[in-house]
Structure 1
Amino acid sequence: MKILVISNFRSIVTVRPEAEIFIGLAKKGHDITVMTYKESEYIPRFEEHGIKVILFHPEKKRDKESIAFIREELVRGKYDVLQMYNSLAYLSGIPAAKGLPVKVILYRGYTGNIAWYDPFIYFKYFNKTVDAVICNVKAIEELFLKNYFGNRIIFKTINKGHDISWYQVEEKADLSGYTQKPDNVKFICTANDRKMKGVKYLLKATHYLDKDAPFELFLAGRNMDRPEFLKLINDSPVKDKIHILGFRKDILEVENNCDVFVLASLYGESITKAAIEAMGLGKAPLITDIPGNRKLVISGESGIVVPKANAKSLAEGMKKYIYNPDLISKYGKAAQNRIQTVFHTSKTVEEYDKFYKELIVN
């Protein structure tokens, strides 16, 4: 197959699961070309695996020059598949492919904001030129099917895979300046301050913990010190055990020095990358049951899953780890194994390969 990919590959850390799909397909013998920004950090790795890189990415919506450039490449290259991953690519790539014998495939990694009455959705996901949309989780596929009344566009769930080797770090961030006792169970929550992250419910959960409970809670991310959070912390009976770290570039090293990754998300996300990274490090997860993270963790086997927007349930989950520390090692190992098997990148490559072939034949 000849595949043209248009995406933003500027940051290795954030785009690795996506980029490695096409490196995997190149290893299978497919002819891959990538259009991306000239400053993309993944360019050397693409070229190392024989992937042609075109230093171009649309900068504006429905830009005539971008449309013409992409169409010229599609005609010249006689591609079987045009795979795109962001709105700027969609709004130039879709009109560029109009009338050409190429399968146009988009991607969706967010579970919200899909509605049949939204006029903008017909410029992208429901456009007549689009053949398929790859969904990162089943909840996204289900939402599309609920709002799409045709039968031409195919919505297909394929998880972006991972490899635990991507997240291994030797060092552990020094948290000794925060921790009261070295043996305390250390919980880490990594999230920027957005309502969907549910941080307030996590902080409310600490109000249900015993003052002498042997734990510490670390909050890493931007704007964790806003007034609402500070008040919840100050009113907590365990306020001295809650530590705001702010934004950290060494977040994997921070997680590597903690025991439990806690995620209190409320909605919107597909499989949460921060949770996957922590599980890849072998950290025991405590997550909420949002649709996007369905089946990421099997509660009671590879972690603990609790209802969203429920501070008491989060507190009970924390207590299980605090007072049953053997679960930390047990669930941590199981969580790491789950990423390396069920969510491994090699499975994603196989599924993309099979789906592309089926789409081209039909």
Structure 2
Amino acid sequence: MNILILGGSDGSFNQIRPEYEMYIGLKNRGHKITIVIKPDSVYLPRLKEIGVKLLFCYPDQKISLKTIIALRRELSNIHYDIIFANSSKTIPSAAIAATGFPAKLVTYRGTTGGAYRHDPTNYLTILNPIADGVVCVSEAVRQYLLPRFRNRKTRLITIHKGHDIAWYKNPPTSLLEFGITNNDFPIACVANARAYKGLKYLLEAAKSLAHISNLHIILVGRNISVEPYISLIAKSGMAERIHMTGFRHDAPEIIAACKTLIIPSIREGLPRVLLESMGYGVPPIATDSGGCAEVVDDEESGYIVPVKDPDAISDRVIRLYENPQLIQSMSKKCLRKIAADLSIQVTVDRYIHFFETLLNNNSSTS
């Protein structure tokens, strides 16, 4: 297959690695790939090193005339089988450029919520009527989108973002900067503070954990040192042991230094930090929002708790605190889960199969 990809260029190396390693996996399987990318993308050196064809016409807005012209020129000169646009910023220009060409247009959705049929802008992006397929990061996302695609030819499929435990070999970050020693029990939460991330429920759970004198909570992400979080921390009974780091490039290594990762979200697609945590063998405690329950085997490789339930969060933390052997057991199962079911190789296989299915359906009906 010849595949034209409009990938996501923003973010740190860790943030975009699963996406770009999937593209590289397609190339390694013998498929031709061309990637539309920003010239300042942190993944550019890696792509150049292995000889990926690159186009520097990444859209600077949802409808970018320069991008559309450049893509149509490319599509006129070279036959492509698949056009894959994986963000709301790239889908509109890709869809307009693809009009009149035989390539199948495939889009991507990484979150539940927001795909409102009464919002006309969504028909430029995720509800675009010319899309032949939509890759959903979790079954929860697919189920959310299905009613919005009734009576349409667009095919929706769930493909989890694959990871590789070889990516998670960096040593854990030292937590001494927070006054945390090897005798302490640190837990992490990594999220930019938005209401749907559910951080308030973790901070409410802290009230039931404050009696554990060596337990620390590390909050990694932007916009946490504001209300209502400041007041919740002050009322937690353990304010001096709740540490706000702001954005950190070493967030995965901070998770690796902790006993568990808490994901208290109200809604999710499939949080990247969940897979990073499991890649480091750190068992997560996650709500049953989005794809979390699809990935975590409850009471085996971590815990799944109801949304908006601080008592359930604190209960699972205490279980881990009181049973170090359980952490070790869950850690091994996390690593096995990534290697067996959530590997980058499995993801590449599923993308290839989906793309080929779209193309074969076209040939069988033509």
TM-score normalised by L of structure 1: 0.94
Instruction: Give the match for residue 199 of structure 1.
Output: 199
Structure 2 unpaired stretches of 5+: 362-366
Instruction: Give the match for residue 247 of structure 1.
Output: 247
Instruction: Give the match for residue 329 of structure 2.
Output: 330
Structure 2 vs 1, CA of residues 174 and 294 (structure 1 numbering), >3 Å: closer, same or farther?
closer
Instruction: Give the match for residue 146 of structure 2.
Output: 145
Instruction: Give the match for residue 69 of structure 2.
Output: 68
For 1:124 and 1:233, the matched residues in 2 are separated by 39
CA drift at 1:149? 2.2
- The DSSP-based 3-state class of the residue aligned with 1:186 is strand
For 1:123 and 1:278, the matched residues in 2 are separated by 35
Structure 2 vs 1, CA of residues 253 and 309 (structure 1 numbering), >3 Å: closer, same or farther?
same
For 1:127 and 1:353, the matched residues in 2 are separated by 22
CA drift at 1:210? 5.5
Q: Could you tell me which amino acid in structure 1 is paired with residue 167 of structure 2?
A: W
Structure 2 vs 1, CA of residues 74 and 263 (structure 1 numbering), >3 Å: closer, same or farther?
same
- Would you say 1:101 and 2:110 are equivalent positions? no
Q: How many residues align?
A: 360
Instruction: Give the match for residue 3 of structure 1.
Output: 3
- Would you say 1:55 and 2:47 are equivalent positions? no
Structure 1 stretch displaced more, 44-53 or 144-153: 44-53
For 1:150 and 1:113, the matched residues in 2 are separated by 20
Q: Could you tell me which amino acid in structure 1 is paired with residue 190 of structure 2?
A: T
Structure 2 vs 1, CA of residues 212 and 145 (structure 1 numbering), >3 Å: closer, same or farther?
closer
For 1:239 and 1:248, the matched residues in 2 are separated by 21
Structure 1 unpaired stretches of 5+: none
CA drift at 1:12? 2.4
For 1:74 and 1:222, the matched residues in 2 are separated by 40
Q: Could you tell me which amino acid in structure 2 is paired with residue 317 of structure 1?
A: R
Structure 2 vs 1, CA of residues 177 and 39 (structure 1 numbering), >3 Å: closer, same or farther?
closer
Kindly report which structure 2 residues correspond to 1:109-120, keeping only aligned pairs within 5 A, or say none: 109-120=110-121
CA drift at 1:250? 2.4
Identity of aligned residues (%): 32
Instruction: Give the match for residue 345 of structure 1.
Output: 344
CA drift at 1:246? 2.8
Q: Could you tell me which amino acid in structure 2 is paired with residue 255 of structure 1?
A: I
Kindly report which structure 2 residues correspond to 1:291-330, keeping only aligned pairs within 5 A, or say none: 291-330=290-329
C-alpha contact 1:214 1:322 (8 A) present in aligned 2: no
For 2:3 and 2:40, the matched residues in 1 are separated by 22
Instruction: Give the match for residue 364 of structure 2.
Output: none
Listed one character per residue, the Cα deviations across residues 263-315 of structure 1 (whole Å, up to 9, x for unaligned) are 11111x21111121121111121111102322211111001111110111111
Instruction: Give the match for residue 127 of structure 1.
Output: 128
For 1:199 and 1:171, the matched residues in 2 are separated by 24
C-alpha contact 2:5 2:84 (8 A) present in aligned 1: yes
Structure 2 vs 1, CA of residues 127 and 216 (structure 1 numbering), >3 Å: closer, same or farther?
closer
For 2:345 and 2:330, the matched residues in 1 are separated by 23
CA drift at 1:189? 1.1
For 2:274 and 2:151, the matched residues in 1 are separated by 35
- The DSSP-based 3-state class of the residue aligned with 1:141 is helix
For 1:137 and 1:212, the matched residues in 2 are separated by 36
CA drift at 1:107? 0.6
Structure 2 vs 1, CA of residues 33 and 219 (structure 1 numbering), >3 Å: closer, same or farther?
same
Instruction: Give the match for residue 82 of structure 1.
Output: 83
C-alpha contact 2:269 2:291 (8 A) present in aligned 1: yes
C-alpha contact 1:285 1:332 (8 A) present in aligned 2: no
Structure 2 vs 1, CA of residues 244 and 121 (structure 1 numbering), >3 Å: closer, same or farther?
closer
Q: Could you tell me which amino acid in structure 2 is paired with residue 91 of structure 1?
A: P
Q: Could you tell me which amino acid in structure 2 is paired with residue 12 of structure 1?
A: F
For 2:87 and 2:15, the matched residues in 1 are separated by 14
Instruction: Give the match for residue 18 of structure 2.
Output: 17
CA drift at 1:104? 0.6
C-alpha contact 1:9 1:19 (8 A) present in aligned 2: no
TM-score normalised by L of structure 2: 0.93
Instruction: Give the match for residue 285 of structure 1.
Output: 284
Structure 2 vs 1, CA of residues 166 and 361 (structure 1 numbering), >3 Å: closer, same or farther?
same
Instruction: Give the match for residue 273 of structure 1.
Output: 272
Q: Could you tell me which amino acid in structure 2 is paired with residue 335 of structure 1?
A: C
CA drift at 1:213? 4.9
Instruction: Give the match for residue 233 of structure 1.
Output: 233
For 1:297 and 1:65, the matched residues in 2 are separated by 43
C-alpha contact 1:168 1:280 (8 A) present in aligned 2: no
- Would you say 1:163 and 2:157 are equivalent positions? no
Q: Could you tell me which amino acid in structure 1 is paired with residue 355 of structure 2?
A: Y
